Chain A
Amino acid sequence: MRTDRLLLQHMPALSIPYRFFLSAPLFGILGALLLLHGGEASWTNRWTAETLAATHLLTLGFMATVMVGALFQVLPVLSGHSVPGQRWLAPGLHILLAASTLALATSFLLHSDPWRLAALLLLAVTFALFLGALGLRLVKPGGGDSVFGIRLAALSLFIAVALGMLMLWVYMGGHTPQWLQQSGGAHLRFALLGWVLLLVMAVSYQVIPMFHVTPEFPKPLARAIPACVFIALVLLTAGSKDRASGLAVALLVSSGIAYAAITLSLFRRRKRKLVDYTIRFWQLGLACLIVALLGYGAAYARPEWSGPASQLQWGVLLVVGFAISIIIGMLQKIAPFLAWLHLQQACLTQPSAMLTLPTMHDLLPRRRARVQFWLHGTSLALLTMAPAYPPLGLPAALALAVDFAWLELSLLKVLRAYRGSLDGINRL
């Protein structure tokens, strides 16, 4: 891995990832407001219009938007090449992803075929462009353990998007084979346990040792665990409910828990144990992953335990507890770090300005990250309880909206501090 060497040679302009980071929390706020509008009914099962729309505003609008933006930053560093055409592709994909997310959410809310068709077409164009550009980089041989994981994550995304589009087609009355009409579970598994979990794994192999000075993830397991997760997902989709699928669930649950447990142990073994809210977010996210996977295994073994409320709780733990916790935590570190790195590069022509560079905490004060952690923890606790006690849905949705609003303000603060420092450097 030649991370450091490639970091600056191929580092895209700050505006490329940052446009995604800045717009993502707005979708989170919109999702929270929809849950607020849906009231207690949103918490009765996962198929209500508001729940489906809010879920996709969180997964596509927030999670996928940040992940796509981050891949524009990370992939050149890992693979050694920029994403082809990133200067036009990034703004184009950003608009397309936003438009597809809004069209999909509207189609759920209005039960409208024209909106479903619009969402279908927009999603097809968006992901064909994104996966095409990503695929051009990923098909090249080589790359480390992270690139291996990103390949499996991209494959999972392709399957999840294709199954999701088929489901939209079925909603529109389109004809599909019987076995494909029951693909909701597979869509959800490939999206959350494939694309999201595998991408988090792949990125964590790089960012955790680099940012938090921990030991590296054990080399023999860095590829084995993502491979086991992907194989389990394929077996679960291909097989019927028999012994093979039981083994696939066991493989999926044990691989995911092994990843989470090893990563948590890496944090315990870091050299300097300073208080760091990004690490707290990681610990919260990984703990939620463990609980969600245990719940998934238990629901498979004892289907009578799995009701609408526990299915919603499983979704909350995976989406808000695992994925969104880790994404928010990483943004607390990555946003000021990228801003600082671009400022440092701007100083190369003004060496005297290097002494005036702000610190990471000047760009994003630790206090803001601490408040973010407690806001997120509060909204997660309320959201997890709401399916069992729907009156909690109102404060839960409000807390989630505040959580995302605080994130948006933090990201804007970093941008303002960056622009102020850049002006200062240019004036010297």
Chain B
Amino acid sequence: MNGLHEGEILLDASAMEPPEPLQRATVILQQLEPGQYLRMLHRRLPYPLFDACKSLAIDHRHFPGRHSHWVILFWRHEDSATAQYCRKLEP
């Protein structure tokens, strides 16, 4: 389940200084369409973004990455098909 998904938006924030990862991810998450999800690569877990997700009705999960410390996936709460896909993605 690690193949490229056409609805994937990639944000490599591993070399970005704060709060740029949070700023960029917030803009992407607000415009996320059904069928799309955000794959974020980050050196830390972005807890402030997780707080923002609650008010944006966005779900997320994370796992350690191969090329970055963390991989974090975000999708719309009501988008059950994308949710199912993201939950099956392997670390």
Contacts and interface: CB of A to CB of B under 8 A. Distances in A.
9 A-B pairs closest in CB distance? A271-B15, A4-B47, A348-B55, A351-B55, A354-B26, A351-B56, A5-B47, A272-B15, A4-B44
B52 A341 contact: no
A7 B23 contact: no
B16 A213 contact: yes
B35 to A, nearest CB: 21
B54 interface: yes
Contacts of A351: 30, 52, 55-56
B22 interface: yes
Contacts of A15: none
Interface in A350-371: 351-352, 354-355, 357, 359-360
A344 B22 contact: yes
B51 A8 contact: yes
A17 to B, nearest CB: 17
B47 A354 contact: no
A261 interface: no
Interface in B8-62: 14-19, 22-23, 26-27, 30, 43-48, 51-52, 54-56
A349 interface: yes
Contact of A357 (B16, B17, B23, B56): B23
Interface string A1-21: 001110110000000000000
Contacts of A359: 23
Contacts of A7: 47-48
A4 B52 contact: no
Contacts of A148: none
Interface string A334-353: 00010011001101110110
Contacts of B22: 344
Please report whether the interface of chain B is mostly helix, strand, loop or mixed according to DSSP. helix
Given A348-B55, A349-B55, A8 B48 contact: yes
Contact of B52 (A212, A337, A347): A347
Interface residues of A, number: 27
A376 B14 CA distance: 32
B89 to A, nearest CB: 22
Contacts of B19: 337, 340-341, 344, 360
Given A7-B48, A211-B17, A352-B30, 7 more contacts: A5-B45, A5-B47, A213-B17, A344-B22, A344-B26, A351-B56, A360-B19
A348 B54 CA distance: 8
A210 interface: yes
Interface of A: 3-5, 7-8, 210-213, 271-272, 274, 337, 340-341, 344-345, 347-349, 351-352, 354-355, 357, 359-360
A337 B47 contact: no
A339 B57 CA distance: 25
A331 to B, nearest CB: 16
B44 A213 contact: no
A414 B59 CA distance: 33
B51 A348 contact: yes
A423 to B, nearest CB: 20
12 contacts: A7-B47, A7-B48, A8-B51, A213-B43, A271-B14, A272-B15, A337-B18, A341-B48, A344-B48, A344-B52, A345-B48, A351-B55
A5 B44 CA distance: 10
Contacts of B54: 348
A4 B56 contact: no
Contacts of A344: 19, 22, 26, 48, 52
Contact of B18 (A211, A271, A347, A355): A211
Contacts of B52: 344, 347-348, 351, 354
Contact of A272 (B17, B18, B23, B45): B17
Contacts of B23: 357, 359
Nearest to B15: A271
Contact of B17 (A8, A212, A348, A354): A212
A366 to B, nearest CB: 13
Nearest to B22: A344
A274 B16 CA distance: 11
Nearest to B48: A8
B30 A354 contact: yes
Nearest to A357: B23
Nearest to B43: A213
Contacts of A211: 17-18
Contacts of A5: 45, 47
Interface string B55-88: 1100000000000000000000000000000000
Contacts of A271: 14-15
A85 B48 CA distance: 25
A212 B20 CA distance: 12
A8 B47 contact: yes
